Structure 1
Amino acid sequence: MPETYASVASFSQIGGLVMFLVGFLCVLVYALLPSSKNKFDAAARMPLRED
């Protein structure tokens, strides 16, 4: 079965959307994990430190 441009474009658009959503959900879960709170708090205080 020969692939047409439309079918390849549709498959790549759907694949890109799925990959984007999976990546977004991974970042969201990482940001909301309780174990990440200390890292984010330290990063938030970094500009205020006087070395």
Structure 2
Amino acid sequence: MSYEAFRHFADSWGLLGLVIFFVAAVGWTFRPGAKRTHETLRHLPLRDED
């Protein structure tokens, strides 16, 4: 694959793929069912395991 072909792919479909991945990751993080998981992880550093 030449540099120009790779550059064209990255400028079009590669960018679109990364944007879709980013939107999906943000959507997955802020979904309504994730509140319990975030509450558990929020207290994880302060949990006393002794």
Same fold by TM (over 0.5)? yes
Identity of aligned residues (%): 21
Which among 35, 38, 41 is matched to residue 37 of structure 1? Answer: 35
Matched, 1:47 2:45: yes
Give the paired residue count.
47
CA distance in 2, matches of 1:19, 1:28: 14
Q: Which residue of 1 aligns with 2:20?
A: 22
Deviates more, 1:12-21 or 1:34-43: 12-21
Q: When the two structures are superposed, what TM-score results if normalisation uses the length of structure 1?
A: 0.75
Q: Which residue of 1 aligns with 2:11?
A: 13
CA distance in 2, matches of 1:5, 1:44: 45
